Amino acid sequence: GSDFYLYVANEGNGGGGGSTIIQLNPLSSTDFATIIGNGFNGPSGIAEDTANTDPILFISDDYNRVYSQNLSGDFNTFSNGFGNPNALYYSQELDKLYIAEAGSQISSLDPGSAIKEILAQNYSNPQAVVINEITETLYFSDFSNHIYEMDLNSSTLPLDFTDSSNSASILASNV
């Protein structure tokens, strides 16, 4: 269709202050912004699974949870027990949700089973995560001003920042 949406997690000022998820339609002159989710505690991560006719949003917040919500309004706590999940990335190709946990790690979550796997640990407040689905390379950033890359097919997962023989490669420094 001709609809194009951008989703915004309203974390608020300083984290924990906002509570809404907003859907923006920059191509509409009448319905530009619509609140589609309420009641979060500082939502910060958002990713979309568009495989269904009613797309599913994954949302993280400061309650250390990841929620799922379709655009019809069905809302669920999808998984909990994270260490401040700041950023989310959903890979349609790999059918995995990737989470940058500011508590020091990168993890993945299988949407079908909700099984969590730690992929990298002991990093300095991971803030962003994205995947190259063709090469199955994961990229993430943290507070140390580095961008890291890691091979998801590595047999030595989880990678560990404190173990120089088994840590993610620095792709860029001082960024």
For residue range 116-172, list pLDDT tens digits in order.
999 999 999 999 999 999 999 999 999 999 999 999 988 789 999 999 889 999 999
| Prediction pTM value | 0.88
Paired with 160 in beta bridges are: 121
pLDDT band at 13 (very low <50, low <70, confident <90, very high): low
Place of tokens 């027990």: 81
For 14-165, strand residue ranges (E) read: 20-24, 33-37, 45-49, 56-61, 65-70, 75-80, 85-91, 96-101, 105-109, 116-121, 128-132, 137-141, 146-151, 159-160
**CB neighbourhood size of 143 (10 A):** 11
Position 1 pLDDT exceeds 70: no
